[in-house]
Structure 1
Amino acid sequence: MAEQQYLDLKYLDKQLDEFEKKKKKIKKMRIGYKLFTHLMGDEKFAHHVSESALNPDKRS
């Protein structure tokens, strides 16, 4: 069985920066539960998501 490969935050940040350079703003991004679980292993990502869940004006 092949090893599962995941995107990392650096890659996602780079992609978002490239869209912004092209004047395309991303409002939402859908990710699957496996990628979400993987990203929650990153302390910065987990903190941002946890904090935004408490504020309805800032949902991540």
Structure 2
Amino acid sequence: MIFTHTQVPEALEGQGIASKLIAGALADVREKRLKVVPLCEFVAGYFDRHPEEQDLLALDAPG
């Protein structure tokens, strides 16, 4: 699954909403036994901050 962009309304930035969105999406990816290619800078950073999720990265994922 390719994650290309993550966005929340500017008024809601800084409240952890994007992280919750990605966490939920990754739970769905895990349930479906898929892998992720994080083209979105935020998603790539999420993987850096959450090493427990790195098993979901596609082997050919950038970075």
> Does TM-score exceed 0.5, indicating one fold?
no
Q: Computing the radius of gyration over CA atoms, which structure comes out larger, 1 or 2?
A: 1
More strand by share: 2
